[in-house]
Structure formats: C-alpha cells, structure tokens
Structure 1
Amino acid sequence: MADLVPLIGPARSIVKFGLDAFSNVSRVGIKQILKQAGLEEKPITPYEIGFMIAPRINAVGRLEHAIDALRLLCTNSPEKAFRLAEHLGDLNKNRQNLVEKSVKAAREMLLNEKQAQQANFYSATCDEALIKKQDYITLAGNKNLAASVNISNNKTKRADLQTPTCDDNIVQEKDSIALGGFAKTHASGIVIPKLVILISNHWNEGIIGLIASKIADEFYRPTIIITKSNNHYKGSARSISGFDITGFLRSLKKYLIDVGGHAQAAGFTIEEKQLKDFVKFAQKKANKLLTEKDLEPITKADLKIPINFINLSLYKLLTLLEPFGIGNPRPTFYSEAELVDAQIFGKTHTHLKLLVKNPDSKSTPLEMIYFNKADLFPQLARGQTIRIVYSINLNRWNGKESLRGIVRIV
C-alpha cells in the first residue's frame, strides 16, 4: 500500500487479511506506532497505512538510516519500542516540515525565472513555447464574492459568505492554472514546460520523490527533481497518467549512470557534466511525445447521484468492496449541490470545508473536505450551485460517527 502496489489478485487478499490482523497485533513496535499515531483500538484501512503508519517508518530511512525502523519492528522491549517509535514520529514531523519548505522552494523556482537561473534550472528554449491567447485561462476572480476572513490565535478561518445578487456572481468553471498547448500558464503568466525539471544542490536526497510528486500533482506535468549526492546527482521523477516516465528516462540512458522504476515513478543517477545535455534533450523529447490532450487532467466519477442519496446505508454497502487503493479505487460520485457554508481550516489554513445540500430541497447538509484548496475560498458564495466529484467516508471523532465527502474536484 505504501509503495502503491495495485490491490488486485493475491495482493488484495494479503492486504485484506493483513488489515484485519491489526486488531490482534502482538509486536510491541507496531503497538507503539499505533499508539503514537492515535490509532489504538481504531479500524486500520489503507488510508491509515499510507498516510499515518508507513510515513513514520519511511521517515527514518529518508533522513537518517532505515536500521532504526527495522529495530522498532523487531524489538521485544516495550521501553525500546517506545523510544524508537517516538524518534520515528519526531523524524516524520521533521520530514513533513522539510518537504513543505522544499516544495515551496521548488514551486518558486518553477514560477520565478530569476530564482530558477540561480538554482541551475536549465530550461530548453523552443519556438513551440509560444501560446496563443485563447490557450490562456485566467483566475475566475470576482470582487463581489470576496469574503472577509479573520485569523486569531490559530483559530479556523471562517467565511462570511455573501449571497449572490447578480449574474456576475456566477463563478466561471475555470481553474487558476491553464491547461493546453505546449505549456501550461500559471495565473502569474509564467509559461511552464511540458516536462518540469528542477535542480538544486540543497534538497535532501531522501525527499526528492515527495517534492516531485507534489509538483506533478499541482501542475499536472511529468516532473523530475534532481539534487547533488556526493560526487554525482540523484534524480527522482513522478509522472501523469499515460506517460511512462521510466521508459522515457531509459530512452535517454546514454546520459545516465543508472535508472529504475515503473510507469509512474522513477529514480536515476547522473554525472554533473551530463546535466545540461540531459535536460535539453529530455525536454525536447517530451515536447514531441506529449500532446495537448495528454496534459489535460481528467477526473472520472463512477456515478451521478443526488446529494440526499448519500447515507449510511450506501456507505455500508460500499465497505463490502474494501480494501480500496491502487487498482481498486474508492468509488467516486458526481453531484450538483447548493453551497450552504464554507470555511478554511487546518494548522496552516490550507484546507477547505464545505457544507452542501441537494438544490431545491430541505435535506440535511453534507460536510465535504477539500484538502489543500483554501485558495478557492474567495470564489464561493452561499446559495451557489456547485458541481462536485467526491468519495465518501466515515468520520469518527469523540466517539461519534458521521458521513463526509472527500472532494476530488469542484
């Protein structure tokens, strides 16, 4: 699950019965991980493995040495298990902070020409980089929709959402990032190449894959992150649907010392003297291989359904299809809904919480969570009709259970 193995065939059976075994786990190391992650006596799903348990185990290998993770899993000493689990938890927090800062630096490098030059970011020049005016999509901002947001003592940002009063209050169905043509244009006007390659001497080698993943997700571009490692440079790549990044890199193997991976992720080693040529020819090749259609992200939904059809009975039926993950994704739904309320939340005020209901009905509103999309807040208004693709899960908090949607796209 942590390495994105498809949950089909024997792998699906291993995961299903392995998750069931967590309730009877006897290893003190695993018990301590569960305790420090706040998962004691709670159901363990692929989500908890992928986002709460595995990152703790992986963090020590990324930032120090993986031997401590092995020691934690093998020890019979409760005291040693507690100490090692605590250390892994602290390292995971450090890893999260380091990734956040590094992604911010990479993003600024990509969007800021001067910073990119200072960081040895080599960008291929090509006449195709010119984008026609109609290929640009701009931020659909609207001053009438702006909401007042107050922040104090790290409390949740809350929306004083205004009620639309004119046709101008309809938010256009456009993203702040344009897709199409040779390159995607960010709201800032920066033209982004089809293949993103960022190079720095300062990124930690253990997290460059995470940086690549974040950048690829945000800009929907195959992304290669390269950093200095002893006498060579190490690269980690993440791709988009339909573009085999490992096959692509192997076609450029004359510039590389080694390369390995699968269709969606790869790693490689390269000599410094090969960097400039590698970037030049990699981007040139990507420009020929990637089409406009390839660079348009597609969000698929399994079923169009009214919001008021989402209930506990439906959720329980869906649990019969578990475990969900790569190869067996959680079912997604498409609904048209009326926005009842919205607020920004999270320690860093980056997430969006929506309350929606079926239009023209008095149904009970359903809570929706849209992670890392607080920037959409100014475009929202009470009473607005929005179209949502989402999945549903069961939120357990303080002994209570409630349904909520996890938004894929609005």
Structure 2
Amino acid sequence: MKWKVMGEGENIIELLLKNRGIKDKDNFLNPPPPKSPLKIPVKAIKRVELAVKNQEPVIVYGDYDVDGICATAIVWETLNKMGAKVLPFIPRRENEGYGLSIAGIDNIDTQTKLIITVDSGIVAHEAVAYAKKKGIDVIILDHHEKPKALPKAYAIIHTDKLCAAGIAYFFSCVIASEARQSLLELAAIATVCDMMPLTGVNRSIVKHGLKSLNETNRPGLKALYDVAGIKTVGVYEIGYMIGPRLNAAGRIDSALTALRLLCTKDIAKAQEWARQLNDINKERQAMVEESVTHAHQAVSSQQLAVREKIIVIEHESYHPGIIGLIAGKLTEKYYLPSIVISKKDGVSRASARSISGFNIIEAIRTTEKLLINAGGHPAAAGFTIETTNISDFKLQIIEYAKLKLTDNLLEKTLRVDCKIDIKNVNHSLFTALCTLEPYGMGNPQPVFCSEVTVLNTRTMGAIGQHIKLTLENGLEAVGFNMSHFAAKLKAGQKVSLAYTLDLNFYNGKTTLQLKIKDIIFH
C-alpha cells in the first residue's frame, strides 16, 4: 500500500482543516443549526397544501434502505401532523423492486391523487407517465445521479449534496413551517448510513441530530438502543449498530417493520419490532458470511482479480437484498470495482461498488441498451437486467473498465494527514482532535504516521488474528487482522506506523491507544 503524507508540523488542527478543504474554521468546529440549501418549488408546496385541504389520498413512496425508510418517516409524520390523508408505501424488493414502479403504483390505494417519492423517482420515466395517466400527480424528492432526461413529474426536488432524508427534512420544514428535532434525528441517521460527506450542511445535520438522538423520545429508537446495547449514540453506533438493524428488514424481509419501529408511539410494539429487527439482522449476517465465502471462491477459481480490472459475478444463490454487501466485501478485499448479480429466471438484479476515481453508475449506463433500469451514485449503484443479457453486459463492462481504469487508479493509497513525533502523541492531542468530530465521509478520522521503536509484540483474538504492540514511550498500538506482521516484528525494531488515535477502556482504566492502519519496515 502506498502512503500519501499530506503534511508535517506541530500546528496539527490547522493542518487537518487544510487537508479537508475547510476554510470556515468557526462554522466547522461549531456547526450552526442546519439551514436548507434547497429551493423548494412553490407549486410543490401549493400542491401539498391543496391535498391537505381537500383530504386527497396521498402516498409517501419510499425505499427499503435506511435513507429511504427515514425519509418516508419524516414526510409521513409531517403530513400526518398537518392533517393530511396520508399513507406510507415501501416497495418490497422481491415484488415491486427498487424505486417508483408501475407494479408499485398498481399496489397502492386506487383513490390516490398525489404520490411523493423519497429516495427514488429521478429515473422513473415510465412509472411517472403511468401515474399521470391514472390522474396521479408525482412530486419527486431524490438525490441519485440525474439521467440526461428527467421524468415529467409535477415537481422535482433534487440535489446530490444531501441524502434523501436530508431533502425530506428540509421539504418538511417548508411545508409545515417548522423545524422539528424529532425529524432531524432521522435525517442524521440517514446522512451517516448513506455515507454523505460530513461537511457543510450535512455536518450540521449530524452534529445537532446526534444531540437529539441521545435525548430521543421515540420508543422505537429507545428499544433499538436496548437490543443493540447502545449507551451513547455517536457516528459509529449509527453506522455499525443502528443502521444495519434498520437495513436488515428491507434486505431479506419487509422494510415496513423498520418504518413502524421509527414511527410508533407504543412502547410494547416498539420493543417487539426492535427484537424482530435484531433477529433479522443476525439472519442477514449469516447469509452474507456464506455468500461472501462463495463469492471469494468464485473470484479465486476464475482468477477474476488477476485477469480483469472489474469483478462481475452472478449466481442463483445470491439473495438480492445482500448483493450490495457482497460487492462491498469484494471491493474491500481486491480493491477493484465489483458487480454482484442475483441471477434469476427472466430478470436479474445487480448491485455494484467502486473504488476512488471510477464512476460506477456512469460505467453501468454505457450498457443501458442491455438494461431494464439503473440508478445510483459514482461509488455505489444498482440495476436490473434480463438474465439473457448478462453475458453481453459482462463483456461490455469489462472492456469499458480496461479503457478507464489506469494502473494509478488501481493502486491502493493510504492518505496520511500528518507525520508527527511519537513523543507528541498524548491525551492533549486526543482532546484537541475531538473538536473535529463527528467523523465520516468528507471528514475522516485523522490518520497520522510516526517512526517508533517496538518493545514487545503479541497476538490476540480468538485465533490470534490481531496484534498488540508496546512502544517506546509506554503507548500501545493494536492492529486488527494484522497477525501477518507479527513474525516480522522484533523487540527493539524501528518501524513506521500509520494509525488513528482512540481511547481504550479496560478494567476501569482509560488509556490512549493507537489503531494501526499500516506498517512500513525499515
């Protein structure tokens, strides 16, 4: 792995802000309450007001991931409080598929006069036209990459600077003429889980949303905290504990369970649904583990990571709800864009993950004549395809990758913020770094590098897969899944460590700890 060291010096906070392109230091370190960057069309506001006044049936048409679920909850709760005759609708992955669809429209209330889509709709040309024929107006709230031509919806509210729940939050603030903290906390969950850059307005959403999440009155979130063992909510808890449980329902069951959990005021039901989501998540974890093992075997046996610049695999056993997770694991291991296809009779579904510098949705759209539909972002996307077209798709996308993926793009690079003397690593530095939180996309946890002398090395973990180093000044460093370094590390040896700083709580003691990202031997 190549290291790219961004700077060196003692004024560490200033250097970190510079590395992140932060020019307004005060606003970054002390984010103001979130202010909308959107221009909400007046016609969209008037249409909602008319629907409320005339008691027209309204559907909030969501999506089955965390962003879609939270966005649906935000708009539904807002309209419900305004007195609208409104129902939420989350498509089932296996039946209606992703986004606004003709099948989905056929499954909603036949009296519906207005559909508000959240987290989808920007590529739903046929579905929007179909709704219009049925006398249904469609307002689209979406953040996915725009196609060349937009659907002919009643109104479109779009930005790629916010997640769908962020758009839904600001839309709700306008139509209801108030900003509610209970909605901001849902926008914060989605902003983290949808991996939006935590700068600008997104940083404000998460910073203020975290405060609300830790003081929430939602029975569903409280129940979820209990089953997950969460005491304090931070970005980690959202991304790795709350998000996966909310996501699990839409992956292998019905996302309505997660939506009901977020919106219910019934404590007993909240506890029941939280337990259900916890159980579904365990099932999802087992499915992913089995499928990822199968996928690694397929990549290895076909030498895909050696022969090609993009991994494309398909199999009948891959559940469509977890193919994105499989693709993510493949990209993480091989550092190649990965596309995983859930192969079925007739129509198959695919999910893709990419590496820095390779726009995966742009790549997929070069094969659009072979696809039924496609949508997503530069780093993650999905599409449906007739199964008979998979072979041709693979040939075309592999050729495209050969042309666009240079050796430079395929070399994994570790971005190191600052080279510092190990003697300057102390609690004062850690406290100063905390002012940069919350960390996330666009504002990653700072990575440092230092030359150190290793005094002792030992392995730990159930199968000795991790390492712990004792360093010259009494500091300890841990490397997860880095046991392959253990045999090379000798007492008294000088090495360069790339690491992040964290606190370790053990036996009532709090100590500073380095989390190793990589090691260079001299």
Question: What TM-score do you get using the length of structure 1 for normalisation?
Answer: 0.75
Paired residues for 1:56-205 under 5 Å: 56-113=245-302, 191-205=306-320
Are 1:391 and 2:476 an aligned pair?
A: no
State how far apart, in whole Å, the 1-side matches of 2:488 and 2:316 are.
39
Looking at structure 2, the residues matched to 354 and 379 of structure 1 have their Cα atoms a distance apart, in angstroms, of 13
Matched-pair contact (CA < 8 Å) for 1:195–1:223: yes
Letter in 2 for 1:15: V
Q: Secondary structure at the match of 2:416?
A: coil
Partner of 1:257: helix, strand, or coil?
A: strand
CA distance in structure 1 between the aligned counterparts of 2:364 and 2:278, rounded to whole angstroms: 35
Tell me, yes or no, if structure 1 residue 46 matches structure 2 residue 235.
Answer: yes
1:367 is aligned, of 477, 491, 499, to 477
Match of residue 333, structure 1, among 448, 458, 462: 448
Q: Displacement of 1:74 after TM fit? A: 1.7
Structure 2 unaligned regions, length at least 5: 1-191
> What corresponds to 2:424 in structure 1?
309
Paired residues for 1:175-324 under 5 Å: 191-229=306-344, 231-324=346-439
CA distance in 2, matches of 1:24, 1:96: 29
CA distance in 2, matches of 1:343, 1:88: 38
Q: Which amino acid aligns with 1:35?
A: D
Distance 2:215 2:362 in 1: 42
Name 2:204's counterpart in structure 1: 13
CA distance in 1 between partners of 2:464 and 2:194 (Å): 26
Letter in 1 for 2:513: R
Structure 1 unaligned runs (5+)? 117-122, 124-183, 185-190
> 1:52 Cα deviation (Å)?
1.1
Residue 226 of structure 2: aligned partner: 35
C-alpha distance after superposition, 1:299-328 (max 9, x if no partner): 011111133322111111011111110011
What residue is the counterpart of 1:4 in the other structure? Answer: 195
Deviations along 1:85-125, one digit per CA (max 9) or x if unpaired, are 11211221222222122111111111113xx8xxxxxx7xx
Specify whether residues 53 and 399 from structure 1 end up closer, same or farther in structure 2 by C-alpha distance, changes over 3 A only.
Answer: farther
Distance 2:505 2:475 in 1: 18
Aligned to 1:169: none
* Separation of aligned partners in 2, 1:242 and 1:63: 31
Deviation at 1:375, TM superposition (A): 4.1
Q: Structure 1 CA distance, aligned partners of 2:330 and 2:243?
A: 21
Q: 1:213 to 1:31 in 2, by over 3 A?
A: same
Q: In the alignment, which residue of structure 2 is the partner of 1:187?
A: none
Separation in 1, partners of 2:242, 2:514: 23
Q: How many residues align?
A: 328
Kept in 2: contact 1:232–1:270 (CA 8 A): yes
Question: Partners in 1 of 2:225 and 2:207 — Cα distance?
Answer: 18
- Distance in 1 separating the partners of 2:518 and 2:282: 28
What is the alpha-carbon distance in structure 2 between the residues aligned to residue 53 and residue 290 of structure 1? 35
SS at match of 2:323: helix
Identity %: 39
CA RMSD in angstroms comes to: 2.0
**Cα distance in 2, alignment partners of residues 26 and 299 from structure 1:** 41
User: Counterpart of 1:357?
Assistant: 471
For the Cα contact (< 8 Å) 2:320–2:342, is it kept in 1? yes
8 Å Cα contact 1:308-1:357 kept in structure 2? no
Counterpart-to-counterpart distance in 2, 1:386 and 1:93: 40
- Deviation string, structure 1 residues 315-354 (Cα, Å, up to 9, x no partner): 110111111100111111012223334444445x474132
Return the alpha-carbon distance in structure 2 between the equivalents of residues 83 and 374 of structure 1. Answer: 41
Cα deviation code 1:176-198 (max 9, x no counterpart)? xxxxxxxx6xxxxxx24111111
Q: Give the Å deviation of 1:3.
A: 0.8
Residues 376 and 83 (structure 1), Cα distance of their counterparts in 2 relative to 1, 3 Å cut? farther
- CA-CA distance at 1:11 after TM superposition: 1.1
Provide, for residues 222-280 of structure 1, a one-character-per-residue CA deviation record: whole Å limited to 9, x for no partner.
Answer: 11111125631111111111111111111111111111111111101111111111111
- Asked if the contact 2:324–2:351 (Cα under 8 Å) also holds between the matched residues in 1, the reply is yes
On the 8 A contact 2:475/2:512 being kept in 1, the answer is no
Q: Using the alignment, how far apart are the partners of 1:200 and 1:389 within structure 2?
A: 38
**1:383: how far off?**
3.4
From the CA coordinates, give the structure whose radius of gyration is larger: 2
Matched to 2:211, the amino acid is: D
- For residues 317 and 298 of structure 1, the distance between their equivalents in structure 2, rounded to whole angstroms, comes to 26
